[in-house]
Every structure is written in structure tokens, then in C-alpha cells.
Chain A
Amino acid sequence: MNIDKLQFKQLGKQAILILWEDKMNETTLSEILFAKKKIEEIKVKEIVEVNNTYNSLIINYVFTINNIYNETSVLKDLLEKANIDKIYEGSKYILPVCYHKKFSLDLEEVCVQKKLEVEEFISTHTIPIYTLYFMGFLPGFLYLGGLPKSLQISRKKTPRLKVEKGSVGIGEKQTGIYPQISAGGWQIIGNCPVTLFDASLKKPTPFSAGDQIKFKAVNLEEHQDILNKIELGKYQLEKVKEWE
């Protein structure tokens, strides 16, 4: 891959950063995830962890890097020689969202600002295929890109001290789900009953960066039904092979 446009920086003596241009798009993400995979292939995971955000990769070492210049050139060399063979394709999931006013604390206000009917908002929010760029902020918090322009809105001026578990929020160009009760500044427009993160499991979340997610509107009753199924261990996350 072409590394001329990439910037290599360091974060102390512990980590190396690779920066792509300051944009959020799927082509960049796909390149970043390709680079991540390549680095993970040559590094032992107990010693090096690789994590991405919208436009960067961090290669974090468990111990101090002895010679950071050498290490950087190893990475440069690796990426330069690597051919991006195919576009990264993540798994595809459908997540239920209940937009009922019991949960959607900011939906009415958002609709007023965006001059939309609530029904219009819901149908617009459930049409796109969102891309999971990365997880951050909280364990299992999904940063989803691809929010339609007509729904984009700034964060709340004053963050809420308590946002309920499963709250679906929108903020700027993103939409996301709070995996646990937390403080939060996004506009809350619904609730997803699915458990996104369970630290008692060996694999605490089914998701990883690059996955695709679509929302499906459910009513209050269906929302409760899913919660009940989860309680009984009978809920199966909806995963599809291809988008229709």
C-alpha cells in the first residue's frame, strides 16, 4: 500500500501512531483495518495491541520500545510491501430499536429542529447501513458512521448525568448505543434491548471494527419481548449474509 500520505508518530516510548488524512470515510477505514490485520499477523498479541479510530491506528507495546526508529521502519516496510487484496468486509447485523417516547427523550425536540415528523425520522434512521468504525468511550460503545445528513445534529449543550443502558443516540455525523448506564451528551432517540457487552464472557461483544449494522424499528411490546428472551438466554442476535 502507498504509505507516502501516512504520518508515523510516537506516543511516548510505548506506542506508535499511524495517521491517515483527517476524514471519516469507509475507504480510509478499510485501509486502516487492512494495515491493522497485517501488523497483527507479525506481532504477538501479548506484546503488541493494535487499535483503530476513524483515521488512525495505535500500535501499543506492553513494554517500552527499545529503538522506536527501528520499530517504525519495520512497520513502514511491512505496510509498503503489503498489497491490499480485497476490501475489508465485516459481519452484518440487524439491531432492534424502540423509538417509543418512553425511551426517546430527545426525539421530539430533534424532530422540531430538523423539521421532520417522528415517523419520517424513524424511517430515515432505519434505512442506512451503518459502519462500525471502532469501539471506545465505554466498553462496547459502538461508534457508527453513516448517519443521513437530514438527521445530523449537534450534541446536547449539557451532557446528561445518566443515560440508560441501551439508549440509542445521535451526535454530529454519528449514531451509537450506550452499552451501560453512563453520563452522555448525545441526543437520545430510542433504545436497543440487545446486550452489547458482557464482560463475563470470553468474547464480551460479537462486534468488531468494520462490521455493518442496520436498525429495525420495534414497538414497546416487542422491545420487552426481546428483553425477556435475553433474560432467559433465548435471544439470537440477527446476523445476515447479504443485505437485501
Chain B
Amino acid sequence: MGVKVIEKGLLTSIQDRGRFGYAQLGVPQSGAMDRYSAKIANLLVGNEAFKAVMEITLLGPLLEFTKDAFIVLVGIEANIRLNGKEISLLKPFKVKKGDRLHIKQITKGARLYLAIFGGFQTEVRLESRSQFYPITKTSSVEKGELIAISKNEGLKLVDFASVKYKNKELTSSVIEVFKGPEWDQVPLVLQEQILSAELTISKNNSRMAYQLQEQFPNTLAGMLSQPVLPGTVQFTPDGNLIILMRDAQTTGGYPRIFQLTEDSINSLAQKKQGDKLKLELIKT
């Protein structure tokens, strides 16, 4: 089969590029939160960019391989052991049947990606393996689960020295945003306040959305539900800023004041509760 989940960690799920074309059925996109790191992980083991990878959040799983595999771990900084021996990020390696991989803790950043040659072979639902309940049966991998991986045939070692990982960009506290459709309705003074504030990620952060701790007085008129995307920043009537992430709903009724760039979504996905950020408006 492939990989057995001995301990599942805080939130471990299988993700690929997500679902595209199903928004009109109300189906969220899902997919790797930090798409960039997931892509690098795939490239390092010689996969196409968006094969299904394992997304690991803060405290990782303990995995046991039930057959040989070629794998890599990509993230900012983490404490990882293979049969008790320390393992580095960004360096692909072979594992043997019976090997135990323990992703103990992510020490910098929030998410880590485990890519395996050939990709994880979980069920495909609506053209994607990305876990999101109830599109898939579960929203995360479960303890005791045996996850299928493909055969090791055709493995070609990649010259991984040629793949550069933009560590710095991912850890930047500057989050680049475009004006959202309702930004111009925000009074100038408030625009200034929001853009100059040091913002903090609250405890309400998930694959669906990151809510910020700071609040701002909102006098904007209510509106009919409108389309939203991952990276849309909503400004709620009670003054909260909510940044939608990969599992976000497809529509929302709050004013959309910003839209994050793709790079900024990836960078935000590497932030956790208490991390600081600043929004920087892209001049268009």
C-alpha cells in the first residue's frame, strides 16, 4: 500500500491544486494552503507541480512506510526524525519499508509539505484529491489509515541543487494586496488606518479563513452575497478583517476590501496565531 498513519498530528491532510470549475455548485477550491511550497516539494521528487502532497500543520504526524518510497519535506524550519535520526528539509531521500518518519514540530512557519514520488493515491472527488468534507469522506488523514502511494517505477533523481526555495518571501511580514471591489467605499481616514496598522493573526485561523485580531469601525452598507475567492479580505459589520483562504466559501455578504496576491496567500499560509503582518497596497 504505502504510508500508515500512526499518529495524525494537529491537522494533516492530502492536498493538490484543488477544485476548479465547481464554484457554481458552492464547492470551495481547497488545495495546498501554501501552493508554492507544495509545488517545490513535488518538483524535488520529480513529480509534476501539483501532484497530491501531504500538508502538515504545526505538530506533525508519525508515519510508517509499508513500502519503499522516494520523498522530500518542504517548509521553513522543522524538527523531523527518520527512525530517530534527524532529517533536513528540501533534500529528497529514499525510505525503506518499515521506516518511521516523525514530523515532531514545525519550528518556523506553520505548514510543511511531504511529497512522494508519484504522489499520494487517495480518492479523487470532483477532479481533485484535496481533502475537504463532505466532498471527500474526511477532512484530514486519520489515525490508523493506510494511504496508498504509487509504484516507484520510473524514478529519476532530480538535481535538487537547481531548485531554489524562496524562504525569505514566505517569511515576510508584508502581505501584498490589491484593492477589493468595495475598497473605495471605505472612508479615507480608515483606509489610512488599516494600511498603516501592524496586524496580528488571531486564534481563529484555519484552512477556511484567517481572522485578524485588530478591529476597525465599519460603517459600510450591507450588500447582497457576492462572489469571493481565496485571498479575498472581508470587512465584517462588527469591524473584523477576515482573510479567506483555500477552503473558503464561494460567496459572501461582507464588503471585500482587498484581494491578496497569490504569493501573499502562500506567505500567509505559513503564519500562525500571534504572528504580525502589514498590508501593502499594490498600485495599479
Contacts and interface: CB of A to CB of B under 8 A. Distances in A.
A188 interface: no
A13 B178 contact: yes
B260 interface: yes
Interface string B202-232: 0000000000000000000001111101011
Contact of A49 (B20, B28, B223, B231): B20
B259 interface: yes
Interface of B: 20-28, 125-126, 134-136, 178, 180-181, 223-227, 229, 231-232, 249-251, 256, 259-262
Contacts of A135: 24-26, 250
A42 B70 CA distance: 42
Contacts of B134: 139, 180, 197, 199
A209 interface: yes
Interface stretch (A51-59, A79-87, A92-100, A103-111): A51-59
B190 to A, nearest CB: 20
Interface in A28-73: 45-46, 49-58, 60, 62, 64
Interface string A195-217: 00101100011001100000000
Given A51-B227, A54-B225, A58-B227, A12 B260 contact: yes
A134 B251 contact: yes
Interface of A: 9-15, 17, 19, 22, 24, 45-46, 49-58, 60, 62, 64, 134-141, 143, 180, 197, 199-200, 204-205, 208-209
Contact of B125 (A11, A200, A208): A200
A12 B27 contact: no
27 contacts: A11-B256, A12-B259, A13-B261, A14-B231, A17-B226, A46-B20, A46-B21, A49-B20, A50-B24, A51-B23, A52-B227, A53-B224, A53-B226, A54-B225, A55-B224, A60-B23, A62-B20, A135-B24, A136-B225, A137-B251, A138-B26, A139-B134, A141-B26, A180-B134, A199-B125, A200-B125, A204-B27
Given A134-B251, A139-B27, A14 B226 contact: no
Chain A CB count within 10 A is highest, among B21, B181, B227, B261, for B227
A242 to B, nearest CB: 26
B181 A17 contact: yes
Contacts of A141: 26
A204 B25 CA distance: 8
Contacts of B225: 53-54, 136, 143
